[in-house]
Structure 1
Amino acid sequence: MNATSERPDAAAQIAGLIFAVLLLDPDLVVREANPAAEDLLHRSARRLVGEPLLDVIALDDERVAQRLTDGEARLTVRGMAMRCGERVTQVNVTVSPLATHPGWRVMTFSEVGQGEMGDQGREETALRAPAILAHEIKNPLAAIRGAGQLVARKLDEKDRPLATMISAEVDRIARLIDRMQRLGSERADPVAATNLHEAIRSATATVQAAGKQRVEMVEEFDPSLPPVLASRDALEQVLINLVSNACDACANERAPRVVIRTRFVSGLVSNLKLGRAIRLPIEITVSDNGPGIDPILRDHVFEPFVTSKASGQGLGLALVRKLIRDMDGRIGHQRDEREGLTHFRIHLPLAREEGEQP
């Protein structure tokens, strides 16, 4: 029989899940871990197996830790903070006891938002409405601008600043509408093999040229990383937004510092799109030592029109997420209060080798 027609056994099915799965014995010791757990917990299965669960992770809810002591308790928790090493991740957790093996449990973790493609689809549908409206607004805006320029030629010198202000405000609204249209666009930029570090350095040079030189920028690159599959222009736009935001966030610190880190993530990081799993082993992290995003906004930072900036429109991070999703990637946000750092992490796919099947 052809191997591809054989029914996958239980081990193969668990290994293919995009959610992290741990098998725990009655003493809460890890006995098995799937590839997604290796990635989420940043340890190989060899290093996880045999370790007490609460030596691997720390949970911010004492009630959850207490329930884990009950070997027969079922548990479902959404949006809980989990610390693993220095990283804090918002996760959904389930614990399922095995009736056939008293005390043994299966524990699953998924990052908040992972696999929720229905929500993404609804969000993108909602964004297309303002994009269509924006298209209808641009035509009369052009007419207003033209009329303002015509009037300016006929006004006295002292009155011309008013006409100039009209043109400037029309231009500002037009730029905002352009961003709304891009958010609602269904057309993604074409992707190709892209040198990650060249894109990062180009983006940081752009940010520094915009007057952010006072902020120390630190590169912690893995020079061995292969090309990613991305749109160079879109990736640079994403990085410009993230690095610029990070500079703004820490600008008032005594020693403002932004760190851009790249690394290869071991194990399997997956994104479910159109029924297929996509490996996302390349990680970019942009970190700053600012005070962090207002806790009220942290769960909504990627939503349109959400911003903590007095002069912001709240479209920057929404556009960042759209561009990353268009490249089949993922982006997340974490605040590490213990270290006083804010992290934005991007995961991207590798560029395929010539002849390799998608």
Structure 2
Amino acid sequence: MKAAAPSPLAKAEVAQLVIDAIGRPLIMVDADGFITFANAEAEDFFRLSAAMLARSRLADFVPFGSPLLSLLEQVQERRAPVNEYRVDISSPRLGPDKVVDIYVTPVADPAGASVVMFQERSMADKIDRQMTHRGAARSVTGLAAMLAHEIKNPLSGIRGAAQLLENVVSDEDRPLARLITEETDRIVALVDRMEVFSDERPVDRAPVNIHVVLDHVKAIARNGFARDIDIVEEYDPSLPPILANRDQFIQVFLNLIKNAAEAIGNQGGGQIRLSTAFRPGIRFSVPGTSERVSLPMEFCVHDNGPGVSEDIQSIIFDPFITTKQNGSGLGLALVAKIVGAHGGVIECESSARGTTFRILMPAWRGEADGTRQRQKAGSKA
């Protein structure tokens, strides 16, 4: 027996559920520019209910002469879809820094109407940056393996020869032989640091309370490199644990807090703020699986230093990018590798008022995550 066909009302309800599940602001605009439909995401985007939006024209929300209005006119004339990327629609009603990708498609009924979908660049840029960081980490992995094999062996020969020369040359030339030895040791130390990137062995992971990690790193900082800097905590004590390697996350936050302390330097009133929060996360693929998870766990390290130059903000997690006179540029690249390997995202926001490094991570979901991690480690053994 065939199932009864759904009623028109049921079809409408299903359509509404599908549209709300898209996860992007979506509206329908009629031929006169009035908003005739808005999904739940659009209500959040415009900060108005669908009923209120239905009384408004799209032109009421965007700046005069906005490219969005030109796109709508173009679609109405040609009756063909049009996309536009990185469109600034900032306005008093939508808020500042509102940059979006826009997808406009004509619909047959009602005549002259169009469907507009927005994708905020903040989300798209996070995805782009995460893919870039992972690609940079893979590049360093290959480079580290090559350096270890091709450079360390000849360096040991050079160092041995320099030590022999130091014993036979004149007192005047002995400092030069010693310089060769010291510089060779410095290169070997740099290669050793890079070898961390080529280590792809599975690491032990367990539920980790991030506040325990932060307290441990804070104790190190207060008794060392951040002795004269005020460290402030803004923690959400109700956060669930994350599935992670504790030692690696100590290394992550040690790097970030040390960078913050160095950015502040000797300026008076220096402050580092550590914050944790539970926020709605975007969805990402976990490395090594086809699963997609949300990233609601937010951990931030903020300093009130002079900020990072805009020229390097987009590449700050790439290897060998550094503003320090004697820096190697590998610390933040290693941080990005560790966070990415744990299925998380790290991003940097900076201005003249300071710099914030934000880590987004999945929460631990109990025994299911532990079982999956053991299976993954077993398949690599």
Band the TM-score falls in, shorter-chain normalisation = 0.7 to 0.9
TM-score by length of 2: 0.70
Inter-partner Cα distance in structure 2 for 1:30 and 1:323: 44
Q: Which residue of 2 aligns with 1:107?
A: 118
- The answer to whether the 8 A contact 1:281-1:347 is kept is yes
Deviations 1:88-125 (CA, angstroms, capped at 9, x unpaired): 98966234245356255211123315067875665444
TM-score by length of 1: 0.74
1:1-358 aligned at under 5 Å gives the runs 21-24=24-27, 26=29, 31-34=38-41, 49=49, 66-70=66-70, 72=72, 74-78=82-86, 93-99=101-107, 100=109, 102=113, 104-109=115-120, 110-114=123-127, 122-136=135-149, 137-145=151-159, 165-266=179-280, 268-273=281-286, 274-336=289-351, 340-355=353-368
Deviations 1:163-197 (CA, angstroms, capped at 9, x unpaired): 65544433322221122222344335332211101
Q: Report the alpha carbon displacement of residue 230 of structure 1 after superposing the two structures with TM.
A: 1.3
Residue type of the alignment partner of 2:124: E
Deviations 1:294-322 (CA, angstroms, capped at 9, x unpaired): 11111111111112222212111111111
3-state SS of paired residue (1:112) = helix
3-state SS of paired residue (2:201) = coil
3-state SS of paired residue (1:255) = coil
Residue type of the alignment partner of 2:66: Q
Inter-partner Cα distance in structure 1 for 2:202 and 2:88: 33
Inter-partner Cα distance in structure 2 for 1:281 and 1:309: 33
Inter-partner Cα distance in structure 2 for 1:309 and 1:249: 9
- The answer to whether the 8 A contact 1:71-1:103 is kept is no
- The answer to whether the 8 A contact 1:92-1:111 is kept is no
- The answer to whether the 8 A contact 1:189-1:234 is kept is no
Name the CA shift for 1:31/1:62 in 2 (closer, same or farther; >3 Å).
closer
Deviations 1:230-287 (CA, angstroms, capped at 9, x unpaired): 1111111111111111122222543211111100013x42112443212211100111
3-state SS of paired residue (2:72) = coil
Inter-partner Cα distance in structure 1 for 2:88 and 2:300: 21
Deviations 1:62-101 (CA, angstroms, capped at 9, x unpaired): 79x81234571645324979899xx998966234245356
Inter-partner Cα distance in structure 2 for 1:252 and 1:79: 41
Inter-partner Cα distance in structure 1 for 2:104 and 2:145: 46
Residue type of the alignment partner of 1:348: M
Compare the two structures and name the one with the higher strand fraction. Answer: 1
Higher relative contact order (CA 8 A, sep 6+): 1
Name the CA shift for 1:16/1:185 in 2 (closer, same or farther; >3 Å).
farther
Q: Which moved more, 1:131-140 or 1:117-126?
A: 117-126
Gaps of 5+ in 1: 1-8, 53-60
- The answer to whether the 8 A contact 1:115-1:271 is kept is no
Q: Which residue of 1 aligns with 2:377?
A: none
3-state SS of paired residue (1:190) = coil
Q: Report the alpha carbon displacement of residue 222 of structure 1 after superposing the two structures with TM.
A: 0.5
- The answer to whether the 8 A contact 2:137-2:334 is kept is no
Query: Identity of aligned pairs, percent?
Result: 30
Q: Which residue of 2 aligns with 1:58?
A: none
CA RMSD, Structure 1 to Structure 2 (Å): 4.0
Residue type of the alignment partner of 1:67: P
3-state SS of paired residue (2:66) = helix
Inter-partner Cα distance in structure 2 for 1:353 and 1:92: 37
Inter-partner Cα distance in structure 1 for 2:16 and 2:168: 79
3-state SS of paired residue (2:336) = helix
3-state SS of paired residue (1:72) = helix
3-state SS of paired residue (1:68) = helix
Name the CA shift for 1:179/1:103 in 2 (closer, same or farther; >3 Å).
same
Compare the two structures and name the one with the higher helix fraction. Answer: 2
